């Protein structure tokens, strides 16, 4: 879908460019955005504001469109800004119920136009990661998380890093494809705690041999 959209926008902008040669880069950006927005309509809980990009997404999109890596200094600045958005649990407790976490990790539903606003989202974690060896269906876009805690330990530094990575993964890789679950409001704090328990509770099947 992403490649199709980019190709469509590029073709449209080039067609416009053939009509005149006085457009600036900002003009082309505006025309591209207008073309994209014209192809979407608000429906249910899916609103047009989903097309709005923040500074991080704009920079990563521009780099991808240009076929270049993000400038190292820009990347560092964006990651620092994203790290500042991370909110840690007010009660100081990071782990919830790993059994609930497993269900959230397996659940890929939520946030589509046909979903109800009061329905909790799933984490869809298995779409990109292996997590528990009992689950035979998983994606490989992200690294395997099997034995996550057993391999990394259960210290405070690992716990806080894992929370921050789930909350806003762009704090560690500005152009990552991993959703910003906390920052984007995709998962509640309670759901994040349950996912944390799935990864870091020694009794979780994730950390069993």
Q: What CATH number does residue 143 fall under?
A: 1.10.760.10
What does the pLDDT read at residue 112? 72
Give the residue ranges of the chain where pLDDT is below 50: 1-20
Question: Does residue 79 lie within any of the structural domains?
Answer: no
Structural domain for 131, as ranges: 98-207
Residue in this structure with the two tokens 């890789």, named with its chain if needed: 173
Q: 116 and 54, same structural domain?
A: no
Using the 3D structure, point to which of 50, 70, 90 is the last residue of a domain.
70
C-alpha 126/C-alpha 165 separation (Å) is 16
Decide: 152 and 58 in contact? Cβ < 8 Å.
no
Q: 119 and 44, same structural domain?
A: no
Question: Does residue 62 lie within any of the structural domains?
Answer: yes
Q: 112 and 43, same structural domain?
A: no
- pLDDT for 143-167, tens place per residue? 999 999 999 999 999 999 999 999 9
Which residues have a Cβ under 8 Å from the Cβ of 154 and sit 6 or more positions away?
200, 202
- Number of domains observed in the structure of the chain: 2
DSSP state of 40: -
- pTM of the prediction? 0.80
What does the pLDDT read at residue 36? 66
DSSP reduced 3-state for 102: helix
What does the pLDDT read at residue 2? 42
Q: 188 and 125, same structural domain?
A: yes
Q: 188 and 119, same structural domain?
A: yes
Q: 115 and 193, same structural domain?
A: yes
Which is nearest to 167 in space by CA: 189, 145, 200?
A: 189
What does the pLDDT read at residue 139? 93
C-alpha 165/C-alpha 159 separation (Å) is 10
Question: Does residue 137 lie within any of the structural domains?
Answer: yes
Which is nearest to 140 in space by CA: 150, 130, 154?
A: 130
Q: 59 and 108, same structural domain?
A: no
Write phi, then psi, for 191 (nearest 5 degrees).
Answer: -65, -40
């Amino acid at each position: 879908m992403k490649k199709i959209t980019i190709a469509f926008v590029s073709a449209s902008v080039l067609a416009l460019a053939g009509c005149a040669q006085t457009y600036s880069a900002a003009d082309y950006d505006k025309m591209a955005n207008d073309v994209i927005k014209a192809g979407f309509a608000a429906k249910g809980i899916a609103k047009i504001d989903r097309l709005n990009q923040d500074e991080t997404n704009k920079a990563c999109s521009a780099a991808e469109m240009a076929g270049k890596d993000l400038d190292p200094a820009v990347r560092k600045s964006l990651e620092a800004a994203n790290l500042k958005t991370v909110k840690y649990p007010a009660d100081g407790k990071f782990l919830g119920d790993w059994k609930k976490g497993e269900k959230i990790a397996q659940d890929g539903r939520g946030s589509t136009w046909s979903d109800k606003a009061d329905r909790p989202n799933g984490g869809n974690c298995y779409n990109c990661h292996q997590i528990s060896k009992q689950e035979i269906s998983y994606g490989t876009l992200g690294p395997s998380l099997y034995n996550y805690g057993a391999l990394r330990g259960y210290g405070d530094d690992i716990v806080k890093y894992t929370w921050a990575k789930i909350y806003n993964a762009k704090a560690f890789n500005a152009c990552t494809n991993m959703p910003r679950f906390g920052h984007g409001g995709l998962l509640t704090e309670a759901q994040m705690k349950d996912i944390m328990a799935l990864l870091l509770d020694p009794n979780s099947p994730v950390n069993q041999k």
